[in-house]
């Protein structure tokens, strides 16, 4: 049984289905996917969706399409019993069901710790929950359509200076040139601390891109609270903004029954080198603490590690079902890239630093390769090609039905 509909589940399913095609076809192996979201969300292009370069639908793929031989159950898991080997879940109508499993894969990912910021869940925007990205896009479109009331109707605050916060601040500033004021708030002394530690030149380039896009950066202060009218910061100041986006870290989703003894102090499921957590239980991605084979440090919570971890879990389950021992996870990593608009990225691949168009193309190629739907990948190529041909002009659907136009910097 695979829990969640993210990268871990998709790649565990694909690895399992590839190795056990005959058993799946003949019904000797049954795969059940239980996910709170009936579609997979491809987060990589969130910036492009927020900036109006790509429609939201391009990032969504129904799980029934990508796990064609699995039973897909659209439900929220409410408990796991690792002794009795059962999973309990709640269907959208409220009914609870329990199913037993032989092998369980935990790919339930993470979520923003909204409880730590008063008002964020009620009045702000987040990115990890079902429907979050669409809600953000709709709110920003509404802000663009609204008259400037001087009370924050055209102001956006993005909290969190990691990759997601920086990319989203850039994307929103890019979309709303001269019409939206975007402030990026970060608790630490510098943005992109993980990138800056190893590639300071790239982090400085990212700072310059934010400046070019007109993003105001407030360092050394965090998001302390959100109200319908704005953001309260930890230094006591107040920013009037009708749109407040919190990308303030993420915590693994907690499933009752998997708490005691199986998790570390940050709530991540502690995995052995073969990515098992307990007998018949496996984990990867944002929900798990996976140690890097060379450094021994936890690997970052990003899509690449979720993809590779998920695939490894699927392959190991196939081995165990075939009475062979599971293998340790030995993947070493690839790099990281952030985007700042059409043809503008900064990143590092296998330690090689890239900027501008080459970085943008590498990022695009990587994302297209890992998009679960070939149909969506082809549509992305067509959308972006049209944008490039048109010199960056793109339609921005606004809630009122009015079609405005935005132009990207060359």
Nearer to ligand FAD, 20 or 133 (CB): 133
Q: Which of 226, 306, 371, 396 binds ligand FAD (CB under 6 A)?
A: 306
Question: Which residues, at least 6 apart from 135, have a Cβ–Cβ distance to it below 8 Å?
Answer: 125
Assess 262 for contact with ligand FAD (CB under 6 A).
no
CB-facing half-sphere around the CA of 98: CA atoms within 13 A: 7
Nearer to ligand FAD, 48 or 213 (CB): 48
Assess 1 for contact with ligand FAD (CB under 6 A).
no
Assess 223 for contact with ligand FAD (CB under 6 A).
no
Q: Which of 14, 19, 24, 43 binds ligand FAD (CB under 6 A)?
A: 43
d(CA 13, CA 69): 9
The three-class DSSP label of residue 358 is: helix
How far lies 7's CA from each of 81, 285, 287, 294, in Å?
Answer: 24, 8, 11, 23
Taking Cα atoms as reference points, which of 230, 131, 216 lies closest to residue 180?
216
Assess 204 for contact with ligand FAD (CB under 6 A).
no
Nearer to ligand FAD, 6 or 326 (CB): 6
Q: Which of 35, 183, 316, 406 binds ligand FAD (CB under 6 A)?
A: 35
Q: Which residues ranging from 45 to 104 are in contact with ligand FAD (CB under 6 A)? A: 46, 76-77
Assess 7 for contact with ligand FAD (CB under 6 A).
yes
Q: DSSP character for 181? A: E
Q: How many residues does the chain have?
A: 410
Assess 152 for contact with ligand FAD (CB under 6 A).
no
Least distance to ligand FAD, CB of residue 408, Å:
19
Q: Enumerate helices (H) and strands (E) in the chain, giving the number of each.
A: 12, 27
d(CA 38, CA 66): 11
Nearer to ligand FAD, 77 or 408 (CB): 77
Pairing of β 32-35 and β 71-74 = parallel
Q: Total residues contacting ligand FAD (rule CB under 6 A)?
A: 32
d(CA 198, CA 400): 45
**Site residues (vs ligand FAD, CB under 6 A):** 3-8, 34-37, 43-44, 46, 76-77, 107-109, 127-128, 130, 164, 253, 255, 285-287, 301-304, 306
């Amino acid at each position: 049984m695979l829990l969640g509909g993210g990268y871990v589940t998709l790649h565990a399913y694909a690895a399992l289905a590839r190795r056990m095609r005959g058993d799946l076809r003949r019904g000797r192996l049954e795969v059940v996917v239980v996910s709170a979201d009936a579609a997979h969300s491809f987060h990589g292009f969130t910036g492009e969706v927020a900036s109006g370069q790509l429609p939201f639908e391009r990032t969504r793929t129904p799980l029934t399409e990508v796990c064609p031989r699995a039973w897909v159950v659209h439900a929220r898991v409410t408990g796991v019993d690792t002794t009795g080997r059962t999973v309990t879940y709640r269907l959208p109508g409220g009914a609870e069901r329990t199913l037993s499993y032989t092998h369980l894969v935990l790919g339930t990912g993470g979520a923003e710790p909204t409880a730590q910021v008063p008002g964020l869940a009620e009045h702000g925007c987040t990115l990890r929950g079902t429907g979050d990205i669409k809600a953000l896009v709709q709110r920003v479109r509404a802000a663009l359509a609204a008259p400037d009331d001087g009370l924050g109707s055209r102001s956006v605050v993005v909290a969190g200076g990691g990759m997601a916060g920086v990319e989203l601040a850039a994307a929103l500033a890019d979309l709303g040139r001269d019409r939206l004021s975007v402030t990026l708030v970060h608790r630490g002394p510098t943005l992109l601390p993980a990138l800056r530690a190893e590639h300071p030149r790239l982090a400085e380039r990212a700072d310059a891109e934010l400046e070019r896009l007109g993003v105001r950066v407030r360092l050394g202060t965090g998001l302390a609270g959100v109200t319908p009218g704005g953001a309260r910061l930890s230094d006591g100041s107040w920013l009037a903004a009708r749109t407040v986006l919190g990308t303030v870290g993420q915590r693994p989703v907690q499933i009752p029954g998997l708490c005691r003894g199986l998790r570390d102090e940050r709530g991540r499921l502690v995995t052995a080198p073969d990515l098992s957590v307990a007998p018949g239980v496996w984990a990867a991605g944002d929900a798990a603490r996976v140690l890097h084979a060379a450094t021994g440090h936890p690997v970052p919570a990003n899509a690449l590690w979720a993809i590779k971890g998920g695939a490894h879990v699927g392959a190991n389950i196939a081995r165990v079902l075939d009475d062979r021992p599971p293998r340790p996870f030995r993947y070493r990593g690839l790099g990281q890239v952030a985007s700042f608009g059409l043809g503008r990225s900064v990143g590092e691949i296998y330690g090689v630093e890239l900027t501008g168009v080459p970085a943008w193309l590498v990022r695009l190629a990587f994302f297209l390769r890992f998009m679960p739907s070939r149909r969506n990948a082809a549509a992305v190529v067509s959308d972006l090609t049209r944008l490039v041909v048109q010199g960056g002009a793109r339609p921005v659907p606004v809630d009122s039905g009015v079609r405005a136009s935005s132009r990207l910097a060359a």
